[in-house]
Amino acid sequence: MTYDLFIGDRLFSSWSLRGWLMLEKFGLHYRSQMIGLYSGTMAEDMKALAPARLVPALSLPDGTVVGESLAMAETLAENHPEAGLWPQDPSARATARWLCAEMVAGFNTLRAECPMQLMHCWQGFTPSSETRADLERIETLWAHARAVSGSETGPLFGEYSLADVFFTPVAARIIGYGLLVSEANKDYCLELLSDPTVRQWRAMGMTVTYEPFPYALDLPSKTWPIGGQSDARPIEGGSSVNDACPYSGKPVSHFLELNGQRWGFCNQFCRDKTVADPAAWPKFTEMASAVNHS
């Protein structure tokens, strides 16, 4: 069973990140297709999905279109009960559904005042009292989830679930704007953002350049805390250690340099996503490790 997932620009589309994690984190098969949020093509790109009008949207194998993230989550959980998208325990499952529903319906000031961006971390941002109230409510919900599950650290309900999916973009806002939460909840946010799949999402987003940068603030910034400072750099031509792309197995045509070695990839996207965060990609790191230890 293969789904078609329609997403927006990875650095900024918080809801697209949720949709992608629903499929990627639980091992469900899909093809992703980009909708042009910032290129002016969104209305045209979405025509075939009508009446869906926002990303993410999901097309089921039979052609049924599902809009809205919570409907997508429930559909996937119903189609794949073995995947464990919701917690197994009934009380935890009911609580997780509550948290996701409130996430969808609430926290409007936090969303408006702190749009998700995964490029860097703003310094000196001052949230409004309404945003601080949203943060207090989020921390209350997280504390309740942990009281229900008994899990003091890690995923809210012990095992990774849709609740963690739905709050990952919130974690990006908390870290990206330096918003004040407890140390334990900051650690939870950093854990969500350190997940290899989230690092890969960000790295793919970093392959696109924006001018002007959406949601820019007149504030200093610092490097994104996870995979934000890469030592790799793109280079033109030359020979590489490898003859085949670590992702596709195809002949190499684009190159990067890392730690004095040149590595090849089958296209610019494969090269640039690796430049953005080399450690996010197991197929690349395994290839590099095998070569360096041979």
| pLDDT the model gives residue 292 | 80
| Model pLDDT for residues 244-257, shown as the tens digit of each residue | 999 999 999 999 99
Same domain? 194 vs 95? yes
Please write the tens of the pLDDT for every residue from 204-239: 999 999 999 999 999 999 999 999 889 999 999 889
Predicted local distance difference test score (pLDDT) of residue 141? 98
Q: Could you tell me if residue 212 is inside a domain? A: no
Look at residue 241 and tell me if it is in a domain.
Answer: yes
pLDDT at residue 261 greater than cutoff 80? yes
- Residues 6, 54: Cα–Cα separation, whole Å: 9
In CATH, what number is assigned to the domain containing residue 77?
3.40.30.10
Residues 103 and 166 in one domain: yes
Residue 40 has a pLDDT of 84
Higher confidence at residue 39 or residue 106?
106
What residues does 6 pair with on adjacent strands?
A: 33, 57
pTM: 0.96
- Give the mean model confidence (pLDDT) for residues 270-274: 98
Number of structural domains (the chain) is 3
Compute the distance between CA of residue 271 and CA of residue 254 in angstroms, rounded to an integer: 6
Q: pLDDT (tens digit, 9 = 90+) per residue, 31-73? A: 999 999 888 899 999 999 999 999 999 999 999 999 999 999 9
Taken in order 6, 8, 11, 16, is the CA torsion positive or negative? negative
Q: How many CA atoms lie within 13 A of 89 on its CB side?
A: 12
Asked if residue 177 and residue 94 are part of one domain, the reply reads yes
Confirm if 111 and 172 have CB atoms less than 8 A apart. Answer: no
Domain assignment of residue 224, yes or no:
no
Residue 233 contacts residue 240 (beta carbons within 8 Å) = no
Q: What is the pLDDT of residues 123-161, one digit of tens each?
A: 999 999 999 999 999 999 999 999 999 999 999 999 999
Assess whether pLDDT exceeds 80 at residue 293. Answer: no
Q: Could you report the per-residue pLDDT of 168-189, keeping only the tens digit for each?
A: 999 999 999 999 999 999 999 9
- Within-domain flag for 62: yes
Residues 70 and 126 in one domain: no
Structural domain contains residue 12:
yes
Does 106 reside within a domain? Answer: yes
User: Given CA atoms 22, 24, 26, 31 in this order, what sign does their dihedral have?
Assistant: positive
Residue 9's nearest CA partner among 61, 56, 70 is 56
Are 139 and 155 within one domain? Answer: yes
Query: Which residue segment(s) compose the domain that 116 sits in?
Result: 90-199
The residue out of 199, 216, 249 marking a domain boundary is: 199
pLDDT band at residue 294 under the 50/70/90 scheme: low
184 with 256, same domain: the answer is no
Distance CA 118, CA 126 (A): 19
Do 146 and 191 share a domain, yes or no? yes
Query: Given this model, what pLDDT does residue 258 score?
Result: 96
Q: What's the whole-number average pLDDT of the chain?
A: 96
Domain match, 111 and 158 both: yes
Asked if residue 154 belongs to a domain, the reply is: yes
